[in-house]
Structure 1
Amino acid sequence: MTDPQQSSPADVEPAAPAQGKTTAPESANPPPAGAEPARPQTPLAPPRMDPVRKWVLIFAAFCLVLLAWYMAADRYTPFTTQARVNAFVVPIAPQVAGEIISVDVRTNQVVKKGELLARIDPARYQLAVAAAEAQLALTQQSLRVSSSTVDAARAALDAAKAALLKDTQNEARLKRIDADVPGAISQRNLETATLARVEREAQVRTAGANLQQAIEALGPRDAKNPQLLAARAALDKAQLDLQYTRLVAPNDGLVTDLRVDAGNFAATGQPLMTFVAVHKIWVEAALTENNLGHVKPGDAVDLVLDVWPDEPLRGRVRSVTHGVAGAESTSKPGALPTVQNQRDWLRNAQRFPVLIDFEDPAQAARLGARVGSQVNVLVYTG
């Protein structure tokens, strides 16, 4: 049994706090005996974002910014790697045939305009010139003879006219005497005078025809005479063929792809070597159609050659090609176009050549800008 004198725990006064120590105030409603003490309440923290979701959103925002930048750059600063260096490439082919007697250049040699490249045996062409000169001399001599023939025919005509005039006057005189003194002139004499006049008229007509024939055979007496023009043209052609036996450089440039040597036979129109105008080079860039909205002649261009990627060059847009042959076009006039049945969701963008000039072609050539070299192109529109 419990001692009535013993007080309950609730009646026991709380002990005084020790000196120098502080105690936390007790709760107004102390927890019941045997219960766990109450934990202090802390403010709730905001929920934390899932790291995966966070990085997905950052990546999506970055992609949107990148897409917007790409679309703007594609229109205002178009870029392409489909570009090559171009120049005028001329096959050196003889215009006359013959044996090659000398080749005066070597492969990849720089040449000047008019410099001798090769020579073809000129012997037969020299003979042709001599023959043409002789033919011209014969033609001139023949024209002089024809001119003399014309002069002789004209003189014969004048003589026939004078004789006709004399016979006509004699006939008129006899007829007048016979009219004044009938029977003074015999009928025989009158008939003879008339016959003489008629014969003279025939002679005049014949002389006139001979003169006309001589004039037509001679033609013009000046430099426009057809025979003289033909003879001079033959001489000019022979001299030109002789000149063609010397193959010379058409301009400043470089000779490459040399295929022959002395002793080979050169056929007309068959290339012997290739000439490249390396001092007149440009870039042909293939830009997509959606790149061309703001591109115009004069726009600045950055050019980076694959051979020297750390030395960009400057250029200017020369022109934009106005048309290309599409897959639907046909080369036969009057035929219907062939339509390609495309079933793809996406179609390839059409590309158009854009011609770009180097601001300093000498620097480009010095850095190794060869025909066919690949170039990265960046156009600044505006």
Structure 2
Amino acid sequence: MSEKNNPSESEVTEQQKQGQQAKPDKIKKLTNYMLGIVAFMLLFSIVSDRIIPSTDNARVKGYVVPIKPQVSGQVLDIVVQPNQLVKQGDVLARLNPADYEIAVAQAEQNLQIAGQNVGAQTASISSAQARLTSANVEKEAVELQTNRILKMAERGVVSKADADDARAKLAGARANVLNAQADLERTKQQLGGDGEDNSQIKAALLALEQAQLNLERTVITAPTDGGVSNFSLSEGFYASAGQPFMTFVSTGSIWIEAYFRENSLGNVKAGDEVEVALDFAPGKVIKGRVTSVDWGVDWGQSNQAGKLAQANSQTGWLRQTQMLPILIEFEHQHTSGLLRIGGQADVIVYTNDNAIFNAFGKLWIRFVSFMSYAR
């Protein structure tokens, strides 16, 4: 019985050999599977980098405007608080308008004075015109009298002395006409044009307009929608014209600048769909569009005249990757309060309608967005 139940030594040896052969076969298969997976992932990564390129080197960009008063004055009222969102035209601060109100009143008085001066000069023109008319009438009368005397002198009725005296009176009358004409022209030149075309009136109107404009500039308003930052003002602070006293961040024009490896941009073009995961808003993905791909970047080869060119020392197959920027715009109504200038973001670009790669890209960017909670 015992011989039947216990295997022989040859059978045990055979089983051991089979077990030893099975172990290498399993390891070989496992290794092949792993190599296949690695090769597939490498190939998938290379292809996806051309179809759905992605990057985590992206920043939120926007216009940062220093708020500079256009007139000088003491700050009377600060309407906004630091980092407060405002609309275009909202009042940010008010300066003391007293000096500029006085300037407006003075300009209005100067305009009235200019009008009075023009009125007086208009009367002077009328008087000069009347003198010219009188001189012309007198000249005509003298001409008639002189002609009669000269005719009588030819007949010997009057003496030559009387004729000479008549000629002198005629010359004097003609000279009076010329003087009256000159006085009239001089008075017209002093007056200038009529009404608002008058030079004095124009100058007074321009001075009034400037004074009113300076008065309006004592109220400082937001240039666009945005927020105010980086200021510590208090009432009584003297603001100088042209000197910034607060920083304004415009939310009306915000975009994302994303840097991609240059070998990933072969299929990227303006208008491609983009999805963005903001670090400031974990778990939220916003949509956008590629607006442009930059033509180049500075790579440190700014050669100057008189110097030899500098050779690039990078060698080998795995050289340092060059990054190129693209600009991305998006719908701002879906990002209200979520954007901060300089904030980091992850970006993925869908360069075509490949359903498989696009689906993988959408899953990946959402995974990255949720991971923003932890990083």
TM-score range, shorter chain: 0.7 to 0.9
Aligned to 2:95: 120
1:358 is aligned to 330
| Equivalent residue for 2:116, pick from 141, 154, 157 | 141
How far apart in 2 are the matches of 1:98 and 1:203?
59
Please tell me whether residue 200 in structure 1 is matched to residue 200 in structure 2.
no
- Looking at structure 2, the residues matched to 281 and 100 of structure 1 have their Cα atoms a distance apart, in angstroms, of 31
Moved more, 55-64 or 368-377: 55-64
| In 2: Cα distance, 1:189 partner to 1:147 partner | 42
The code of the aligned residue for 1:362 comes to Q
Post-superposition offset of 1:294: 2.2
Is the Cα–Cα contact under 8 Å of residues 291 and 327 in structure 2 kept in the other structure? yes
Q: 3-state DSSP class of the match of 1:268?
A: coil
Sequence identity percentage: 35
Q: How does 1:81-230 map to 2 (within 5 A)?
A: 81-179=56-154, 182-230=155-203
Q: 1:102: how far off?
A: 1.5
Contact in 1 for aligned 2:195/2:201 (Cα 8 Å): no
Q: 297, 310, 319: which one pairs with 2:283?
A: 310
Gaps of 5+ in 2: 1-17, 353-375
TM-score computed with the length of structure 2 as normaliser: 0.78
Which structure: larger Rg?
1
Amino acid at match of 1:241: N
Change beyond 3 A, Cα 1:131–1:85: same
Q: Tell me whether 1:370 sits opposite 2:343 in the alignment.
A: no
Distance in 1 (CA, whole Å) between partners of 2:113 and 2:253 is 50
Alpha-carbon distance in structure 1 between the residues aligned to 2:308 and 2:214: 48
Distance 1:159 1:324, change over 3 A: farther
The alignment partner of 2:196 has SS state of: coil
Whether the aligned pair in 1 keeps the contact of 2:60 and 2:340 (CA below 8 Å) is yes
- 5+ unaligned residues in a row in structure 1: which ranges? 1-44
2:117 and 2:226 map into 1 onto residues whose CA distance is: 50
TM superposition shift of 1:199: 0.9
Do 1:278 and 1:370's aligned partners in 2 also have CA atoms closer than 8 Å?
no
Aligned length in residues:
330
Q: Distance in 2 between matches of 1:186 and 1:355?
A: 106
Give the Å deviation of 1:324.
Answer: 4.5
2:43 to 50, 53, 68: 68
Is residue 344 from structure 1 mapped to residue 317 from structure 2 by the alignment?
no
* 1:83 Cα deviation from its structure 2 partner: 1.0
One-letter code aligned to 1:153: A
Q: Is the 8 A contact 1:133 1:235 kept in 2?
A: yes
1:287 pairs, out of 260, 272, 280, with: 260
Cross-structure match for 2:368:
none
Whether 1:381 and 2:351 are equivalent positions in the alignment is yes
Whole-Å separation in 1 of the counterparts to 2:27 and 2:113: 105
Per-residue deviation, residues 150-205 of structure 1 (Å, max 9, x unmatched):
232222222222222221222112222333xx211222221111001111121122
Q: Is contact 2:270-2:289 (8 Å) kept?
A: yes
